[in-house]
Amino acid sequence: PPVRLWVRRVGVYCDEHRKTWLVAAEEASMLRARIQRVQVPLGEALRPSQLPPSRLPHMWQLSQGEQYRDSNSRVWEIEHHLMVRMVATL
């Protein structure tokens, strides 16, 4: 799993190896997100002030175990989907 994810544009994050991940928020009552490794052109990164309001944070960092903390120190449940030879695996 990625150690850090930084927002590049709406729904697109980049990890420490410059791999791109598509991110979608899940349930409104919990801090939960689903990330999927998808190759997309990086293009120019948007500044946080250029992004529309979103429940998704500007950055996540892997914490203990499989937990991620966002830029506001909130703990998120993240579900990883990696693409291996065009076959999705969890």
Is 58 inside any structural domain? Answer: yes
CATH number at residue 14: 2.40.15.10
What does the pLDDT read at residue 72?
Answer: 87
60 lies in some domain: yes
The whole-model pTM stands at 0.79
Residue 21: CB atoms within 10 Å: 23
Range of the domain at 43: 4-77
Assess if residue 89 is contained within a domain: no
Q: How many domains does the chain have?
A: 1
CB atoms within 10 A of CB 32: 15
Under 8 Å between Cβ of 34 and 23: yes
Q: What is the pLDDT of residues 5-36, one digit of tens each?
A: 999 988 899 999 999 999 877 665 678 888 88
Out of 27-31, 43-47, 55-59, which region has the weakest mean confidence (pLDDT)?
Answer: 27-31
Residue 11 lies in a domain: yes
- Does residue 88 form part of some domain? no
- Report the pLDDT value the prediction gives residue 89, as an integer from 0 to 100: 41
Res. 85: pLDDT tops 90: no
Q: What percent of the chain has pLDDT over 90?
A: 26
